[in-house]
Amino acid sequence: MAWFVKIEKGIVDKATFDRHVPAHIEYVRKLINQGHEARTGYWLERGGGMLLFQADSLEQANQIVQQDPLITNGCVEYELHQWCVVVE
Q: List pLDDT tens digits, range 30-67.
A: 999 999 999 999 988 767 899 999 999 999 999 999 99
Looking at the whole model, is its pTM more than 0.85? yes
Give me the CATH code for the 2-83 domain, please: 3.30.70.1060
The residues spanned by each domain of the chain are 2-83
Mean pLDDT of the chain: 95
Distances (CA, A) of 10 to 3, 4, 20, 53, 82: 23, 19, 12, 20, 21
DSSP per position, 13-79? -HHHHHHHHHHHHHHHHHHHHTT---EEEE-SSTTEEEEEEEESSHHHHHHHHHT-HHHHTT-EEEE
